[in-house]
Amino acid sequence: MSTTDTGERRRSSDARPVITDLIDEATVQSIGEEAWVALVGEEEPLVPLLGKLPDDVLSSWVDVVGPWIGSVVLTTGRQTAAELTRALLGDSAPELLDHEDVADAFGEIANVVGGNVKAALPGPSALGLPEVGDAPVVRNPADVCRVEVLWRGQALAISVQGALPPLPVPSHPHHEKEVSL
């Protein structure tokens, strides 16, 4: 028996969800706020206001690999990342922070936020180890859920962004009607 493929079935099964189909900004913000209260303290929460990131920024992120593939990225000014490190370490903070201290603490915040974002996404998914540096490139602007907040008056962004480029759009979709199985 042969059937005619109208293209509908293939298009729907091939479609990859973008992150905004899976999680919304309010959820990402709530996850960030909860992480801040637990790790940094309730005296200095995230404030849901827009700010301007400085030129000299640092990002930390973890990769999520599962039905959705991408990264959960925190970005803020280097100075703010250092202040976050001191807030996280409290009395244990060394007098002089080195890059490893900042990478470790800022990376751990990304790990905690990323783990909770992953839990809100369809699974099963694997969580990578935290990385710190220049944020991964956004490959599909439609596959990004980003919230911007302030901490101690400084801008900080939490971005849940896909790692894959957009799927190509078929140029002649009506040709699919001629495909037989």
Partner 1 sequence: MRALVIDDSRAMRRIVTRAVEKLGFEVRDAGHGREGLDVLDEGWIPDLVCVDWNMPVMDGLQFVSAVRANPTWRNVTIMMVTSESEHTQIVRALAAGAHEYVIKPFTADALRDKLALLGLLPQEVSL
68-87 binders of partner 1 (CB under 8 A):
85
Taking alpha carbons only, the member of 31, 132, 44, 112 closest to residue 84 is 44
Q: Is 123 in the site for partner 1 (CB under 8 A)?
A: yes
Residue 57 or 127 having the CB closest to partner 1? 127
Kind and range of the H or E element at 102? helix 99-120
Contact track, partner 1, 7-46, x by CB under 8 A: ---------------------------xx-xxx-------
Give the burial string for 86-109 (b: 16+ CB within 10 Å, else e): bbbeeeeeeeebeeebbbbbbbbb
**Cβ 179 vs Cβ 8: under 8 Å:** no
Among residues 43, 124, 153, 169, the one that binds partner 1 under rule CB under 8 A: 124
Q: Which parts of this chain interact with partner 1 (CB under 8 A)?
A: 34-35, 37-39, 85, 88-90, 92, 101, 104-105, 107-108, 111-112, 114-116, 118-119, 123-125, 127-130
